[in-house]
Chains A and B, each alone.
Chain A
Amino acid sequence: MSKDFPNLLSSEIYNNFISFAKNEGFTQTSLNSLPFAELESIKQKCSHTSDVVFGSKVACSLGCSPFASFSYFFPVDNNIEPNLFGSVYLDSNIFKSMQNANGAHFLQLAFIKNSSDIDTSKLLAKRSLSGLCRGYMAKTRASETSVKLHTDLLNVLFSPLHLSALLTEALKSENLSVDDMFLCIASPTSDFLEKAKTIFSPFIQANEELRKEEQKAKYANCLRENDCTSCDDKIVCDEIRKVL
């Protein structure tokens, strides 16, 4: 799957998406937005975002939700192979994932600026930042604080400010400066989502087909030689397949 995947996401799809997002008037927030009261000055700072987005030193990630640790990195420069991390989960359900507990949609784009050219290993190092929560979840899930944080975020709302706070924590843990990343967050209308769905549809369709093929073809560990009908463990596998 990983070998085939980069071809599925053309720069055309990516460029369409970015210009579309810009035209839709995303609220742009940088990490410098903290403390929260300084939102206006941050907006000014973020007005430079578009100037630095295009170039090999910048990568962009689309996050499905703060609680999906998988994100997909779009390399801004076509010479960089896309980071396939989490590609298995990026499908049509992405649009469902972008709803918070109150049903409001949100979309997050993180632009990562680097002092040198971004390659896949650097993308990997920063994936927890633009995916927002992988490092955060892995390190704190079991603590009382994190449970509270989860509850707050899930049950109250996802706001740019919450996300900024999480990102700041992630940046601190990686010893990165807040200037290394810009975060764009939108509360898109349903009209926006419909349009975005259209733009992403070739990508989504190809990804789903790939997944189906993979499910069929790769049963290397199956002790029943692909015949699951009489398997004692079928009920467990079916649950996993249901989610996927």
Chain B
Amino acid sequence: MNNRVFAFLGKGGTGKTALSTLFGIYLINNGKRPLFIDADPAGGIQKTLGLENVPSIASARQELIALAKKASRINENNASDFKMTKEDLDYIIMNTVIDQKDFGFIAIGQNMEPGCFCSINNLLKSTLHAILPLYDVIIIDAEAGLEQVYRQVVEEIHVALMVSDVSKRGIDTCVSLKHAIEKIEGMKTCSYGAVINKTKNVPELHTDFLHSEGINVLGTVDLNAELADFDMRGESLLNIKKDNAIFREIESFAKKILN
């Protein structure tokens, strides 16, 4: 896979969704075409991108299972009343990829149907894997954990970006997550970095601790009135003005990981 994969991780409420969205918007503003992967079952990025009611990989899986069950049902003449076609599969799977002019979007969703269904999982995975190389950058908002993403879409993370506020709990979570990722069998991760959100200054205590755990602090993002206003109104962050100070902060850490 030639494109670069960035996963945003961290304790809940630290601003992963907003930062991953803004990072993607920064890339769009600079001529790149990112693919956003929303691994939040509640749908975080889809809201910050202003998308509504998008189908997810989980819902596609559900739909495929229902379709296959329908096709496997035998009537009294020992035949099936319904035949599944390639076009059915094609439509269901590709319907999960929201392909906009400037970016792509996939929601992982939450698997509701228990069971193995390995052929369906592999079908989804291989098809989605085929489209990943077609985007410049993959951005994952990893609310649900990287393992789920790994099993369903990507096999390699170039940069795991830990997002934290200045709280000790937030910082500790960054380290715990790094250890958790390292334990995922087969997952390749090239580097780890941290962005400290909602502040201008990072206590040396935190910087040193993170550094000792192999996580470099790449930058900070201060509280931003316009972002808060957008969040309050639920407006798409795509509409934030390009000259907003937050994009300069995004740029300062983006340059470190994009080069």
Q: Which residue of A lies closest to B64 (CB)?
A: A240
Q: Which residue of A lies closest to B118 (CB)?
A: A222
Which residues on the A side are within 8 Å of B115 (C-beta)?
232-233, 236
Interface string of B185-212 (1 = CB under 8 A from A): 0000000000000000000000000000
Q: A89-B90, A239-B72 are in contact. Are A138 and B95 (CB under 8 A)?
A: yes
**At the interface, yes or no: A113 with Cβ under 8 Å from chain B?**
no
**At the interface, yes or no: A145 with Cβ under 8 Å from chain B?**
no
**At the interface, yes or no: B130 with Cβ under 8 Å from chain A?**
yes
Interface string of A153-185 (1 = CB under 8 A from B): 000000000000000000000100000000000
In residues 1-54 of chain A, which contact B (Cβ within 8 Å)? Answer: 1-2
In Å, the complex CA distance between A16 and B91 comes to 31
In Å, the complex CA distance between A174 and B152 comes to 30
Contact A223 B118 (CB under 8 A): yes
Which residues on the B side are within 8 Å of A241 (C-beta)?
119
Contact A236 B136 (CB under 8 A): no
**At the interface, yes or no: B18 with Cβ under 8 Å from chain A?**
no
Contact A236 B134 (CB under 8 A): no
Contact B151 A174 (CB under 8 A): no
In Å, the complex CA distance between A215 and B119 comes to 8
A residues apposed to B, CB below 8 Å: 1-2, 65, 67-70, 81, 83-89, 93, 97, 120-121, 123-125, 127-128, 134-135, 137-138, 141, 174, 214-215, 218-224, 228, 231-233, 235-244
B residues apposed to A, CB below 8 Å: 1, 33, 64-65, 68-69, 71-72, 84-91, 94-95, 99, 101, 104, 115-123, 125-127, 129-131, 133-136, 151-152
Other than A232-B115, A237-B120, A240-B120, give 6 A-B pairs with Cβ distance below 8 A: A124-B33, A124-B131, A236-B65, A237-B118, A239-B71, A243-B86
